[in-house]
Amino acid sequence: MDYEAVIGLETHVQLKTLSKMWCGCANQYGAEPNTQVCPVCLGMPGVLPVPNEQALRLTALTGYLLHCELPRHVQFDRKNYFYPDVAKNYQLTQLAYPSTVNGHVDFEMQGESKRVRITRAHLEEDVGKSFHFDRQSGVDFNRGGVPLLEIVSEPDITSADMAHAYLNALKDILVYGKISDCDMEKGMVRCDVNVSVRPKGSQTLGAKVEIKNMNSFSGVRRALQYEIPRQLEAISRGESIVQETRRWDDVANMTESMRTKEDAHDYRYFPCPDLVPFEPSDNWFETVREGLVELPMDRKKRFMEQYQLPENDAEVFISDVPLGDYFEKVASHGGNPKALANWVINNLRAQLVEPEVSLDSLRFEPAALVELVELVDTGKISSKIAQSVFTDMFTSGKAPAAIVAEKGLVQVSDTGAIEQFCDQAIEANPGPAEDYRQGKDAALNFLKGQVMKLSRGKANPALVGKVLDQKLRP
């Protein structure tokens, strides 16, 4: 029998806010342990949580970017469990009334478009970080109370590769929306996987296994690459899969059982009485929508359609958003978009690697690039000359036409002048001239180069070839 995997992901993402979820402590990675803490995030007696509105905004914005519904009544619940890294021994989370529900993420995988539905993206708080030393353990509460978004997918994912592609697409969206920096190394994204297998075409779900402790997207892929065959082999041996939580061991490259359903937590959720329900106005949602950005997939599609750019160019502009934005500024002045894209990608980007150069500090106006391309397209200057004009405008900020006029770089398209240069070249290089006469086509390029040299690059190359040909093979 053929089997298929059914995979759902729970992705935790730290939100990019200045302060924590319930207090004014800094939300910043890398400080000395327990230096970004206060009575509130340490769970001292008597303290109360005050919601961080920016975190609620970023959550709502995520909802828009993931095409979710945004309910008008949002509420936090207490999720009760004892663990040393949970200061209050309950975590505040949105169980019953989350900020966003029912969305989806679209992405491409091996040339095919895929959609994973989003069950919900809800807001909660991060917990502290445990450290284990030789004889004792410690908890750093700097991370405790950092706003954390949990994005729960429907079980629409069917392979390890698809899980990987989904996570990358999700990350692109969150980084695009300035919702999270999604820095995996700083623990800003964490992922739990739910996976089961079932006979292909079956509508019922198999026993669900939850896998925890993956700290990279590739870890998720590898965990699934291990776990799916494990389940299939168990079934082929006639065993049944038990519902359980398994831990991914990144070093051993395998999953191992943590706990079964029998010892599952009873979290005793109930609405947090310290917080009033959040019922934002239309106006609040409007101001959140002002933060909406174009999603990577949409941007790529638009660049390919609107500017007729090849896929490669469009991809450069979605991975480097400021460069893409700059290209759009240039293209808004008219001209040939493909040629402009070439200039932006090949010439401009090369200059931007210098530390002192940025798109904001360019000396020339975006329109100058259009002008430069026009000079080439109309035959006023050669592409080669254009390179040096670009270098000049880059350093001096002068307009390309002005540089061309000043330095006398206008391309020579006057047949009389070109004929003179050709005659000189033929006279000085009788060997190659004879070769061409005898039918060696390659010799023409050498002669052309000589003519360009004589004209100091200003001769119209196409015209030079034509004149030489006429003279040698009349």
Catalog residues that contact another protein under the rule CB under 8 A: 39, 42-51, 78, 80, 82-84, 87-90, 139, 266, 268-270, 272-276
By C-beta, is 87 or 288 nearer to another protein? 87
Q: Cβ of residue 22: shortest distance to another protein, in angstroms?
A: 10
By C-beta, is 132 or 237 nearer to another protein? 132
By C-beta, is 18 or 276 nearer to another protein? 276
By C-beta, is 82 or 133 nearer to another protein? 82
By C-beta, is 273 or 355 nearer to another protein? 273
Which residues share a beta bridge with 124? Answer: 93, 148
By C-beta, is 49 or 98 nearer to another protein? 49
By C-beta, is 270 or 363 nearer to another protein? 270
Q: Cβ of residue 391: shortest distance to another protein, in angstroms?
A: 58
Q: Cβ of residue 155: shortest distance to another protein, in angstroms?
A: 23
Q: Cβ of residue 53: shortest distance to another protein, in angstroms?
A: 12
Q: Cβ of residue 96: shortest distance to another protein, in angstroms?
A: 11
Q: Cβ of residue 95: shortest distance to another protein, in angstroms?
A: 12
Contacts of 96 (CB under 8 A, 6+ apart): 75, 77, 269, 271
By C-beta, is 52 or 411 nearer to another protein? 52
Distance set, CA 153 to CA 4, 18, 59, 65, 193 (Å): 18, 28, 16, 14, 10
Q: Cβ of residue 17: shortest distance to another protein, in angstroms?
A: 17
Q: Cβ of residue 35: shortest distance to another protein, in angstroms?
A: 15
